[in-house]
Amino acid sequence: MAFITEEQIQKYRQDGYLVLEGFLNPEECDALRERMAVIVERMDVPLHCRTEFSTEQEEQLKTQGSADYFMSSGDKVRFFFEKGVFDSQGNFLVPRERSVNKIGHALHAYEPVFKNVTHSPKVQEFSRKLDFKQPVVVQSMYIFKQPGIGGEVTPHQDATFLYTEPLGRVMGVWIALEDATEDNGCLWFIPGSHKTGITRRMVRAPEGTFPRTQFIGSERTYADEKFVTAPVKKGGLILIHGEVVHRSAMNSSNHSRHVYTFHIMESENTRWSAENWLQPTQELPFPSLYT
In a domain, 289, yes or no: no
Rounded Cα distance, 128 and 235, in Å: 21
The pLDDT of residue 52 is: 61
In a domain, 285, yes or no: no
In a domain, 277, yes or no: no
Q: How many residues does the chain have?
A: 291
Query: Phi and psi at residue 18, in whole multiples of 5°?
Result: -155, 130
Flag residues of the chain having pLDDT under 70: 1, 48-49, 51-65
Rounded Cα distance, 127 and 9, in Å: 10
The pLDDT of residue 183 is: 96
Residue 223 CB contacts under 8 Å (≥ 6 apart), including other chains: none
The pLDDT of residue 61 is: 47
Rounded Cα distance, 102 and 116, in Å: 20
Q: Residue 199's domain is classified under what CATH number?
A: 2.60.120.620
The DSSP bridge partners found for residue 160 are none
State which H helix or E strand residue 272 sits in: strand 271-272
Check if the beta carbon of residue 19 is closer than 8 Å to that of residue 230: yes
The pLDDT of residue 57 is: 45
How many domains does the chain divide into?
Answer: 1
Q: Which domain holds residue 91?
A: 6-272
Check if the beta carbon of residue 16 is closer than 8 Å to that of residue 195: yes
The pLDDT of residue 65 is: 67
In a domain, 280, yes or no: no
In a domain, 281, yes or no: no
pLDDT in tens, 16-54: 999 999 999 999 999 999 999 999 999 988 776 676 665
In a domain, 103, yes or no: yes
The pLDDT of residue 1 is: 58
Query: Phi and psi at residue 68, in whole multiples of 5°?
Result: -60, -40
The pLDDT of residue 82 is: 87
DSSP per-residue codes, 206-275: PTT-SSSEEEEE-PPP--GGG-EEE-B-TT-EEEEETT--EEE--B-SSS---EEEEEEEE-TT-EE-TT
Count CA atoms closer than 13 A to 140's CA, side-chain side.
27
In a domain, 282, yes or no: no
In a domain, 290, yes or no: no
In terms of Cβ atoms closer than 10 Å to its own Cβ (0-12, 13-18, 19+), residue 193 is buried
E strand spans, 130-212: 135-143, 153-156, 164-165, 170-176, 187-189, 200-204
- At residue 228's C-alpha, the angle toward residues 227 and 232, to 5°, is 135
